[in-house]
């Protein structure tokens, strides 16, 4: 961050001013003129927090995708199917056991094992053949989508959060001021706040794992020069199996998250695969901070677009991606290697 500020002082100042204005719009009372221009502050805040929590969901999906696609260079276009399958399994487990939390480790293990099978039986045999990987995983995604449609049908499913997370939480953010002068604070679903906190913890843990541990060093070394790493005696295939399993497991638990504050239905696999691609392209392949930044940008653009320009909300997402590709093809936080 300090290096970026020293290299780009003007851009750093612009970003700092934008963050300051944004923070003022969130935490400070709005003057009447601003409410006339943008509408009620409560609507703006709901869009902002909705975008942040949607970004947390996108990050959970895209972080697994950036591990598999960005770090390992495996083109897994069945990643969205792992998301939807994890959501359906989470629904069944939570309904059967009555425990929302218990669904997370069970789904993670099941989808991670499926990821091990995919890596060992599919990607290991087509290492470096991007076109074959693309075609095979597209076929797998179609097969998985049809199997899920056959078993769960075409209706939507919702995973219910536990009672202690079902109500709203009061945040220290002013949403309005009554005529009596009483300050009204924003109330927001507690389950979304918990999911946001969990996504932050997972993101920090993944970054530490990749950048501050011996396993992370092996993963990065295997991506850059796997022959040299293999010559040093490291079982590179086992490391890649573990990384692929972890990325697939993250997609599975993201499905539970998505089914909790949205819904599960046919077609969600394609939607979240596309979202993962956009997030990784915007943030930078193989970068966990880049995936977080890209997910936040895309989540905010979608929610703010739905509130203030619903006709063009989808356009904003691809406009952001086009601008990033035009001026920084490696992504906002991606490396040029």
pLDDT tens readout for residues 193-222: 999 999 999 999 999 988 888 888 877 777
H or E stretch including 161? none
Whether 71 has a pLDDT exceeding 90, the answer reads: no
Mean confidence (pLDDT) of the chain: 87
Task: Give the residue numbers spanning the domain of 322.
Answer: 59-164+212-327
Question: What's the structural domain count of the chain?
Answer: 1
For residues 274-286, one letter each, b for 16 or more C-beta atoms within 10 angstroms of the residue's C-beta and e for the rest, the string is ebbbbbbbbbbbb
Cα–Cα dist 222/240, whole Å: 8
Residue 48 confidence (pLDDT): 92
Residue 335's Cα: distance from chain center in Å?
20
- Inter-residue contact 314 to 306 (CB < 8 Å): no
Tokens of 74: 């495996």
Asked if residue 296 is part of any domain, the answer here is yes
Residue 86 buriedness (CB in 10 A; 0-12 / 13-18 / 19+)? buried
Lowest average pLDDT, out of 36-40, 91-95, 97-101, 129-133, goes to: 36-40
* 160 DSSP assignment: P
| Between 324 and 240, the higher pLDDT residue | 324
Cα–Cα dist 134/78, whole Å: 9
Q: How many C-beta neighbours within 10 Å does residue 42 have?
A: 14
Residue 177 confidence (pLDDT): 79
* Alpha helix positions (H), 125-189: 130-152
Residue 103 confidence (pLDDT): 95
- Provide the CB-side half-sphere exposure for 101 (13 A, CA): 7
Asked if residue 240 is part of any domain, the answer here is yes
Asked if residue 98 is part of any domain, the answer here is yes
Residue 8 confidence (pLDDT): 63
pLDDT digits (tens, 9 = 90+) for 48-58: 999 999 999 99
Asked if residue 10 is part of any domain, the answer here is no
- Inter-residue contact 16 to 4 (CB < 8 Å): no
Tokens of 47: 């869009």
Average pLDDT, integer, range 79-105: 95
Three-class SS state of 177: strand
Q: Among 304, 321, 276, which residue's Cα sits nearest to residue 70?
A: 276
Asked if residue 156 is part of any domain, the answer here is yes
pLDDT digits (tens, 9 = 90+) for 255-289: 999 999 888 999 999 999 999 999 999 998 888 88
- Which segment, 6-20, 136-150, 303-317, is predicted with the most confidence on average? 136-150
Cα–Cα dist 291/278, whole Å: 10
- Inter-residue contact 69 to 118 (CB < 8 Å): no
Residue 13's Cα: distance from chain center in Å?
28
pLDDT digits (tens, 9 = 90+) for 105-144: 999 999 999 999 999 888 888 877 888 998 999 999 999 9
| Between 102 and 128, the higher pLDDT residue | 102
Asked if residue 235 is part of any domain, the answer here is yes
Tokens of 238: 């086992």
Whether 292 has a pLDDT exceeding 90, the answer reads: yes
Residue 129 confidence (pLDDT): 85
Q: How many C-beta neighbours within 10 Å does residue 115 have?
A: 29
């Amino acid at each position: 961050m300090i290096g970026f500020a020293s290299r780009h002082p003007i851009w750093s100042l612009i970003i700092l001013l934008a963050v300051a204005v944004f923070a003022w719009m969130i935490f400070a009372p709005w003057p009447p003129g601003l409410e006339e221009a943008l509408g009620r502050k409560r609507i703006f805040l709901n869009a902002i927090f909705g975008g942040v929590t949607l970004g947390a969901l996108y990050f959970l999906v895209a972080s697994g995708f950036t591990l598999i696609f960005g770090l390992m260079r495996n083109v897994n276009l069945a990643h969205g199917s792992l998301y939807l399958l994890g959501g359906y399994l989470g629904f069944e487990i939570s309904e059967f056991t009555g425990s929302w939390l218990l669904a997370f480790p069970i789904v993670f293990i099941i989808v991670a094992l499926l990821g091990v099978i995919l890596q060992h039986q599919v990607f290991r045999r087509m290492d470096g053949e991007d076109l074959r990987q693309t075609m095979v995983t597209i076929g797998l995604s179609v097969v998985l989508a049809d199997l899920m449609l056959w078993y769960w049908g075409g209706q939507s499913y919702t995973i219910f959060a536990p009672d202690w997370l079902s109500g709203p939480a009061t945040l220290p953010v002013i949403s309005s001021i009554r005529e009596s002068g009483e300050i009204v604070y924003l109330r927001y679903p507690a389950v979304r706040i918990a999911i946001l906190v969990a996504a932050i913890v997972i993101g920090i843990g993944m970054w530490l794992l990749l950048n501050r541990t011996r396993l992370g060093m092996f993963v990065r070394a295997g991506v850059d020069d796997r022959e040299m790493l293999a010559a040093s005696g490291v079982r590179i295939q086992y490391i890649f199996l573990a990384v692929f399993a972890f990325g697939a497991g993250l997609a599975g638990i993201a499905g539970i998250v998505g089914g909790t504050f949205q819904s599960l239905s046919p077609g969600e696999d394609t939607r979240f695969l596309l979202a993962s691609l956009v997030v990784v392209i915007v943030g930078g392949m193989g970068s966990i901070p880049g995936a977080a930044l890209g997910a936040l940008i895309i989540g905010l653009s979608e929610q703010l677009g739905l509130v203030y320009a619903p006709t063009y909300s989808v356009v904003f997402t691809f406009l952001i991606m086009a601008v990033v590709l035009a001026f920084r093809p490696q992504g906002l936080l991606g490396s040029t290697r």
